[in-house]
Structure 1
Amino acid sequence: MAHKLALLLAVAVLPAIVLATDYVVGDDKGWTINFDYNAWAQGKEFMVGDTLTFNYPKGVHNVVKVNGTAFENCIKEPNNGITDSGSDKITLATPGNKWYICAFGQHCATGGQKLMITVSDMVMGPSANAPSSSTRTNMAKGLDIFLGAILALALLVDLLMKAIALATDYVVGEDKGWTIDFDYNAWAEGKDFMVGDTLIFNYPRGQHNVAKVNGSAFQSCTKEPNNGIMDSGNDKITLATPGNKWYICTFGQHCAVGGQKLKISVSDMSMSPGMQPTPNPTAQSSARTNMANGLAIFLGAIFASFLVILN
C-alpha cells in the first residue's frame, strides 16, 4: 500500500519538479544596481516550482521579499524575509505577483535594484500563460502520461505478485507421499496445476526417486530419455512452463508394477477458462482464473486510455 501511495504522489508532483527552472536573476550581471530587471523578466514564464537565484557580493546587497506597496516605495517593511548570503535561492511555491528589493541604502529607489514577477500555476490553461506555456503544458502532459504508465506498471506488478502469491504447493500423494500402490491419476484429477505451482515429492530417501521423463518413457516406465533424476526424499519441482509433465520412480518395478508414476497438465495463467484442462476447477483455480481475467481487462483499459489520450 505504501509503494502505491508513493507512486501516486510521484505522478502528482514529479512533472512540476522535472519542469522546474532555475532563473539566475540578472543572468551574468547578477543582483546589482543600475540594471533593468523589468526588461530581464519580460517574456519569461515563471511557474510554481521554479527557483530564483540572486547572486551578488555578500555584504554589498541583500534580497527582501516585500508586498506591492513596499515595492513601489522601496521600503523593506512589511517584508516576508531578508536574505543576504550572496547566493540566495527562492523557490516559487505559490502563484501570483512577487516583489523583491535590495534594502541597502538607495539601491532600490535610485539604483533600480528591484524585481517584480508574476508566477503561474502549472495547471493554468494556455490562455493564462506566457507564449511559451504551450510547450511546458505539452511537456507536463507528456510527463503525466509517462508517469501514469509507470504507475500502471506498478499496479500491474502488484497484481502479478498477487498471482504469484496464489501459487500452490502440491504434496504429491498428500499424506501417502511418493510411493508404490497408490493411484496418482485419481490424486491429480480435479486439480488445476498452474505455471508457478510446486510439486513436492516426499519419500524415504534411498527407497524411491523422481525422474522427469517424456510421454513415451512414461508409458513404458523407462528412465531414458529424462530431464533429471532427483533422490533427496523431499524433491521440489516448480512448474515453470505449461503443458503435460510426466514423472516416474526408476527403482526396480516401482513404475511398471507399483504404479509409481504421475502425469499432470500445467496451464498458463494467461489461458482463458475454456482452455483450462480440468472440467471442474476448484475454488482456488477459479480465483486464479479471475485474477488472469482481471489482468487482461486492466491491460486493455490502459491501452484504451492511451489511445484516447493520443487522439
Structure 2
Amino acid sequence: MVTKKIFSFVLVIMFLLLGSSSAKTYKVGGSNYGWTVRDDSWAEHKEFHVGDSLIFEYDQNVNDLTQVSNSLQYESCDNSSPKAVYNTGHDVVTFKEPGHHYFITSNHIQCVGGLKLDVLVVHGPSSPSTPPPPPPSSKNHGPSRQIPSSPPPSKHNGPSRQIPPPPPSKNHGPSHQSPPPPPPPSKILPSAERMHAVGDTSGWSVYNSYYYEKWSEDRQFRVGDTLFFEYNKHINDVREVSNELDFESCNPTSTIAVYKTGHDIVRLTRPGVHYFVSLKSGLCHAGIKLRVTVQPSTEDVTVPDVPKMKLSPINRCTRWWWLCSFRRHH
C-alpha cells in the first residue's frame, strides 16, 4: 500500500514538471543557412517567450554574435558598447526577461547588409497571473449589516417641504460670458528619420562622380537623416567641405569634418547643400565626391488649425437679403 502511494506521488510530480515546462529552442535562420545570411521572414510568425532559447550557428573565423542594448545601436550597427559578445560558432542565448532583444554581427559589412535580428520576447504562456488582493476581513463575525437603500421616512406626516429656487440676481444687465477657449495646438507632422548607405552596395569606392550624383538625385534627404560611408580606411577617407568651389576643385582648405574609420555615420543636422569628398591618393579627382541637398525636418513643418469665422446676426441678415435680391433679379 505504501509503495503504491509513493509511486502515485512520483507520477504526479513528473506530470506537473512536464506540463509546466513549455520552453522552446529555435535555430536562427533555420537548418539551411543559420546565422550567415539576411532573412527578414524567419521570425515573423514566431512567438518568443521568457525561457525560450536561440541557437546561432556560423563560421567563427569570419563572423560573431553581438547583443546590443537599444534600437539605435541596432539600426546603426554600433557595436562599441555591446551588452554581450559570443564567438563560439554555436551560441545558445536564453531569454530571461521580456522586451526587445537586439542581435547584430560586429562584421560591419554583413551587419549593414542585413545580418541582424530583433526579437520581441513576452512572458511565458503558463505564467500565473497575480491574484487580486482579498477584501479586508471584518472584525465582526456576526451577520453583515446592510445599509438601507433609502433614508427612513420622516415622522412628520405633512406634505414634503420643497427647497425654493435661488432668488434671481440683482444685476439686470447682460450676463458676463467667459472668454472663448484658446484654439487647439497646431498639428505637427511625424518625423521620419532614415539612414542612407552611400553608394548602396558599392559603398564609397566608385571612381565616377556621376554615379554619386545620380545616387543623390534619386533620394530625398531631411534634417535628422544619417549618411553611412563604407570604404577601405587604408586607402580612403571622408571629408566634408563647406562650399561648391572646394567641392569641384577637391580642395581641403574649407574642411568642416574628417572621417576615417571605414564605416562612418554622418548625421545631417542642418538644411541646405552638404559637400563630401575623398582626398586620399587623389580619389576625389577620380570621382569619389558627393553633393547632398537636405530639406528641413518634418518636425519643423506645422499645419495651423484656422478657426472658423462666426457671423454676427447683422451680417447674417445682410447676407440673406443680398442672396434673396440676387435670386429675384435672375
TM-score, normalised on structure 2?
Answer: 0.38
Q: Greater helix share, 1 or 2?
A: 1
TM-score, normalised on structure 1?
Answer: 0.40
